[in-house]
Amino acid sequence: MKLSLSNGIFSKMGINENFATIRQIGFENIEFNMKSIKKERDTDVYREQKALASSGLKCLTLHSATLHIKDPIEVHQAVYYGKISLECAHALGVPLMTIHSNVSKKLPKNIREKCLQEVFNKEIEPFAKNLGIKLALENLSYNSTGFGKNVEGLEEVLGVIDNGSMGITFDLCHALESKETDNLLDKYGDRVCNVHMADKAHKPFTEAKPELAHFLKRLHDFGYNGPITFEIAHGTLIDEIAKSKTLFDKLLSQF
Ligand SMILES: [Zn+2]
């Protein structure tokens, strides 16, 4: 398993300072979160590409910009967010993009299905396939505005959008908050291709709590060897991030 840090935590910094701070903490790998692009101007992807190349960091995954559609009229905007994210992933040479369902949990089921088809089946999936980028659907938190926090919800989404190659981004913080860790692992353990790692409320783990040890053991038993991506709250102190990294360097060396 490869330790990585989501750069969304430093999204208020300019991109060069963002990458430099990650290097200072000692990380070699990142997940690029589209939140760290200030104002969407499509050509900004070239600036990010240059900054990444000179940082020496390796970008393992990219987190798509998302819009949890509340009304079908917003479909075109969600499609734009998805496509510019794919363009950025392509520019950064990233093979995997984390996605949300992009539909609000408040939409009725039949409209959810229509929006999922419009966004993914018609637009995002062919675009991703053309660029050779794999998509990985993330389990959301119970307090997210989006749809898909448990097996039932994810099965509904996958039932519409899965073309046979959809992976899963397993967010441990969301799974702990919704008490779904084992249910989700039972169902999707062998499809996980990215992990968002944090304790509840996106706090970094600074000790090997039983639920963390249990999760890592189960992941290992599924043969997982992909990214363990710290996705932690804004305002987390650098010292805490470094302490958590030291813990994971030790924990992951066992696998
Ligand atoms: Zn996440």
Find the 231 Cα to ligand 1 centroid distance in Å: 6
Cα separation, 148 vs 133, in Å, equals 22
171 CA distance to ligand 1 centroid (A)? 5
SS3 197: strand
For residue 42, what pLDDT is reported?
Answer: 79
The H or E element that residue 214 is part of is helix 210-221
Which pLDDT score is estimated for 39?
67
| pLDDT value at residue 37 | 85
**Radius of gyration, alpha carbons of the chain:** 17
Read off the pLDDT of residues 145-162 as tens digits, 9 standing for 90 and up: 999 999 999 999 999 999
The CA 103 to ligand 1 mean position distance, Å, reads 16
pLDDT value for 40: 63
Measured CA to CA, the distance from residue 98 to residue 108 in angstroms comes to: 24
Measured in residues, the chain has a length of 255
End-to-end CA distance of the chain: 8
* Residue 138: strand pairing partners: 169
**In this structure, which amino acid lies at residue 82?**
G
Q: What is the pLDDT of residues 81-131, one digit of tens each?
A: 999 999 999 999 999 999 999 999 999 999 999 999 999 999 999 999 999
Give the closest residue to 228 by CA, choosing from 190, 187, 201, 193: 193
- How many whole angstroms from 98 Cα to the centroid of ligand 1? 9
pLDDT, tens digit, for every residue of 65-84? 999 999 999 999 999 999 99
DSSP designation for 119: I
Q: Residue range 198-224: average pLDDT?
A: 97
Say what the pTM is. 0.96
Mean pLDDT of 198-216: 96
Could you tell me the distance, in angstroms and rounded to a whole number, from the CA of residue 138 to the centre of ligand 1?
7
| Cβ contact 131:99 at 8 Å | no
Residue 151 contacts residue 187 (beta carbons within 8 Å): yes
pLDDT at 166: 97
> What's the gap in Å between 132 CA and the centre of ligand 1?
23
Higher per-residue confidence, 101 vs 36? 101
Interatomic CA distance for residues 102 and 135, integer angstroms: 13
Report how far ligand 1's centroid is from the alpha carbon of 32 (Å): 12
Crossing angle between the packed helical segments 151-161 and 181-188, to the nearest 10 degrees: 30
Measured in Å, residue 185 CA sits from the centre of ligand 1 at 16
Compute, in angstroms, the gap from residue 196 CA to the centroid of ligand 1.
5
What does the alpha-carbon distance between residue 179 and residue 97 come to, in Å, rounded to a whole number?
Answer: 25
